[in-house]
Structure 1
Amino acid sequence: MIMTNTIAVTSTRKKCIIILMVVLVPCAILNLVSTPDMSEETILQNGIAELQVKLEHLQSKYINIQEEINILSHQLLSLTENSHNIPDLQFLMPNTTTNITSIKLPSIYNFLPHILNDHNSLRPAFLQSKSRCGVSMVLGVPTVKRDVQNYLMSTLKNLLDRMTPAEAADTIIIVMVAEIDIDYVTYIAKQIEVQFPVETDNGLIEVISPSSNYYPNLTKLRDTLGDDHQRVLWRSKQNLDFAFLMSYAQTKGTFYIQLEDDILAKKNFITTMKTYALQKISMKENWFVLDFCQLGFIGKLFKCVELPWLVQFFLMFYNDKPVDWLLDHLVSTKVCSLDKDSKHCKIAKAELWLHYKPSLFQHIGTHSSLKGKVQKLKDKQFGKITLYYAHNNPDASVETQITSYKQYTLRKAYKGESFFWGLLPQPGDYLKFKFVHPIFIKKYLFRSGNLEHPLDQFYNTTVEILLVNSKSIDRNRNDVTEDGYIIIGKFDSLGVAQGTVDKKYGKVAVIRLSVHGESDNWAILSEIHIVPDESS
């Protein structure tokens, strides 16, 4: 009965693949027909290219299924040695003989033999997923615990803000928390769920973490390349982390993009990458890597069906070199000839490793995940980053006890000439805007942090107003301060405070930001927008 069920499953899965192929043909083209600014010929070419990649993806899934069936068949054959204990087995497998010898090819167990001791080693220890799959773009975002600053939430917000709804519907973001402390992993997952509830609920964002048994004994690593042991440990673990993440992502979609947890993306980056990839496929260019950022391993795009090349290579040499060096060596191994010079090698690699300009991603992190390492790497091809937003605010005088850094004063920020950057806000500090002529306020917006310093936000800070007729305010109200200000809002977890002011309050003389807790960071005010109610 075992073999009968196996054959039935195989037949069913083949039928499913055929059905998916039939469905994907019109879908791939239909999705592109609505894309603006594209000729019919280009739409058709890209549709065919997308279909080609999806068929390759289905073929990869089929191979994986066949591998599982072969493993099961091998296990069944091995049982024939004890077939006298299983009477039905000989009947199910009449043509089998004992003492069958077969070649066993290398697998992950050859490079990580320790995982043989635990069959759950390759299962995520933590998985927050809605089982979304079949998308075009899979973004891999590995993250680890950082001693100084963690940029993950601002990175996720930036990625989501730079997507259209259509792009988001065709994308999965896989956050891999590469830590074995399950409490920390759960904490990060909860943060993501709270800050991005819709994206978590619809499966756009997934969170995974590896089992502690996935990693070998890292204390026994060989020191290589003249690096100190701490750096060898850091880069070796990173290789293993990337291999785990890619292995999980392989079946999720068509293209995989490796990112980091401290980056910025340009608007519509999803469509730009997908279009570029399909164009190269339709032009019959046999690429292996599409590079959308010139730094390290950021913004590297691969076909999901080719991720096994990378996973296998990383596992083979995880102790030997950093991940970006291994990628370069893999491409070199594919095309470089030993009997030709470096110039020919460079030309050959350029055909497999295509660079897109200008860059779509920028590195913003200053503090590396390697303890003590400070890196100020910037991709010059990314272009200028908007660090503040200017508005024509009502005439007002400004005041604060927070010491400003260099020329980044509150006055310039209010006038839209720069952003405010203050040193370590403390409880009791405030930023006060006193209007020359009291006004009715329609709405307000205060945005803290900026793209280069996303964590320099105002935390535990309220927005308060002082009315012209403040003496009439009941001081016993919960939303009224001791000095007569009415609390109308506060900064949220993303560093933004925005809202409206009820006309019933009358004219406002002062609007104030009051700090109620200590901060580990400096604070930036990158946008100040106060809109008067002209109708009053």
Structure 2
Amino acid sequence: MCTRVGPWRAESTAVLPAPPLVNGPPPRRDPARSRRHPAGSLGFAARGTAGRKRRAQSVIVEGSVSLATRNESCPVKFESQIHGEIFRIKSNQLTNCKNHILEFKENILHLQNKSKSTREELTKAFNALQYEVMQRENQSRNLDEEKLDTVSEGETASNIFEDFKFFLPHLKKVKRVYPKVIISQGKTGVSFAVGIPTVSRGNHTYLKQTLNSIVTRVTPQEEEDSVVIVSVADSNEDYVKSVVDMVKQRFKRQVKSGSLEVISVPDFFYPSILYEEPADDSQRTKRWRMKQVLDFSVLMAYAYPKATYYLQLEDDIIAKEMYFTKLTEFVRNMTSNNWFSIQFSVLGFIGKLFKSKDLPEFVNFFLMFYKERPIDLLLDQIFHIKMCDVEEAPEKCLKREEEIRIQYKPSLFQHVGLHSSLPGREQRLKKI
């Protein structure tokens, strides 16, 4: 440390005063002593005075040198202190900077680990999806090899039925999702498949006259290039048996040629809510509509691999004369193939023709919203969703929709059923 020079340290730095010199006449000396030391006394005194002067000067010089030395060394020490303080501050700043860098590095590592974990989860999910797809493909590939009791020899398996498990979770416990094939020769590779779902209407039935108009008003060539599929969507075994017996007795030739098939929908297809007792008529109607969507979806899925086109009918209609000739000519004379549906009737879901390759998309949409809307409204909505942009004017969308939903006139099918498949309800809409 540098020694501070000031009044409070004067005793350590001030020049020591010389002893005072005696002014005035010298003191009297004893003559006797003077005689004994005639020159010694004066010489001694002189030497003593000179010694004191030299010591005083020495003290003055040493004090000056010491003070000078201290005053010269003070800035050096102060500068050293400043440099030391600066070094300490910089060291602290460097330490803080290092700490921030380490903290930032830890955050980066944490984010990298989190990102890696997310990527791993996504990879696992994707691998699981791929595995599920592979399993589904393997199962569908082995359908014909399994030879289950409900599968006839000529049946063509459809992968689309595996998609039912995604929308109807209760089917995941079912080993194989497929309708029961009762009458079939396994006919495939035709131009048209005609689907007719049927359920019991109590003491009233229209299925016989419907089938009679459908299978008899075609030429032999048209019959050979088509297949009619009757799907019995009823758990009443007596009704199933009555339909099978009627078909075998009245349409032997069509059954033998494979142009007429009969399948039934097993009870396991339907969710448990459809077997619960409805609280009121509103719930009863809603559940009837839900079941109708599922019935149509099963029939579409079964018909999907059989033909190029699929025609949807119901079990209480009558086909007009030469209906099939007019239908096939109209389709083959289409100048554009950019259509989704041709409507040969304006009533409900009757007389709607689709490309078979589009059926899986329709079925998935129907299964997704089977609890929300009736089947005919779902058909309207899927066209609207696929073809209409959110921000475009409704008029523009409607015009485009008319281009892909083609209306054939006059209608080729007449609705005749008075008693609906919904118990207690009458259907008086007959005009096409």
- Counterpart of 1:108 (choices 160, 164, 176) is 164
Other structure's SS at 1:312 match? helix
Structural mapping, 1:323-334, within 5 Å: 323-334=375-386
Distance 1:211-1:169 versus aligned 2 partners, 3 A rule: same
TM-score by length of 1: 0.49
Is residue 2:301 matched to residue 1:237? no
Q: How far does the alpha carbon of each residue in 1:37-84 deviate from its partner, in whole angstroms, 9 at most, with x for none?
A: xxxxxxxxxxxxxxxxxxxxxxxxxxxxx9999337889xxxxxxxxx
Distance 1:110-1:198 versus aligned 2 partners, 3 A rule: same
Q: Which residue of 2 aligns with 1:262?
A: 316
Q: How far does the alpha carbon of each residue in 1:120-142 deviate from its partner, in whole angstroms, 9 at most, with x for none?
A: 3x222342101111111110000
Q: Which residue of 2 aligns with 1:352?
A: 404
| Separation in structure 2 between the aligned mates of residue 356 and residue 72 of structure 1, nearest angstrom | 39
Other structure's SS at 1:374 match? coil
Other structure's SS at 1:319 match? coil
| Separation in structure 1 between the aligned mates of residue 295 and residue 242 of structure 2, nearest angstrom | 19
Q: Which residue of 2 aligns with 1:161?
A: 216
Tell me the amino acid that sits aligned with residue 325 of structure 2.
T
| Separation in structure 2 between the aligned mates of residue 154 and residue 183 of structure 1, nearest angstrom | 20
1:219: Cα distance to partner? 4.0
Which protein has greater RCO, CA pairs closer than 8 Å, 6+ apart? 2
Q: Which residue of 1 aligns with 2:187?
A: 132
Structural mapping, 1:33-432, within 5 Å: 70-71=134-135, 107-120=163-176, 122-219=177-274, 228-280=282-334, 283-380=335-432
Q: How far does the alpha carbon of each residue in 1:417-457 deviate from its partner, in whole angstroms, 9 at most, with x for none?
A: xxxxxxxxxxxxxxxxxxxxxxxxxxxxxxxxxxxxxxxxx
Q: Which residue of 2 aligns with 1:24?
A: none
Tell me the amino acid that sits aligned with residue 238 of structure 1.
Q
Other structure's SS at 1:370 match? coil
- Stretches of structure 2 that go unaligned for 5 or more consecutive residues are 1-129, 140-161
Other structure's SS at 2:231 match? strand
* Number of matched pairs: 280
Q: How far does the alpha carbon of each residue in 1:498-524 deviate from its partner, in whole angstroms, 9 at most, with x for none?
A: xxxxxxxxxxxxxxxxxxxxxxxxxxx
Q: How far does the alpha carbon of each residue in 1:469-510 deviate from its partner, in whole angstroms, 9 at most, with x for none?
A: xxxxxxxxxxxxxxxxxxxxxxxxxxxxxxxxxxxxxxxxxx
Q: How far does the alpha carbon of each residue in 1:239-281 deviate from its partner, in whole angstroms, 9 at most, with x for none?
A: 000000000000111110000111111222222222222222x
Tell me the amino acid that sits aligned with residue 153 of structure 1.
K
Distance 1:67-1:291 versus aligned 2 partners, 3 A rule: farther
Tell me the amino acid that sits aligned with residue 290 of structure 1.
I
Tell me the amino acid that sits aligned with residue 310 of structure 2.
Y
Answer whether contact 1:290 1:302 (CA < 8 A) is retained.
yes
Answer whether contact 2:338 2:404 (CA < 8 A) is retained.
yes
Larger strand proportion of the pair: 1
1:289: Cα distance to partner? 0.4
| Separation in structure 2 between the aligned mates of residue 341 and residue 118 of structure 1, nearest angstrom | 46
Q: For structure 1, which segment, 254-263 or 209-218, has the greater mean C-alpha deviation from structure 2 after superposition? A: 209-218
Larger helix proportion of the pair: 2
1:346: Cα distance to partner? 1.3
Q: How far does the alpha carbon of each residue in 1:137-195 deviate from its partner, in whole angstroms, 9 at most, with x for none?
A: 11000000002410001111111221111111111110000012334312211111011
1:374: Cα distance to partner? 0.9
Work out which of the two has the higher radius of gyration on C-alpha atoms and give 1 or 2.
2
Q: Which residue of 2 aligns with 1:494?
A: none
Identity over the aligned pairs, expressed in percent?
A: 41
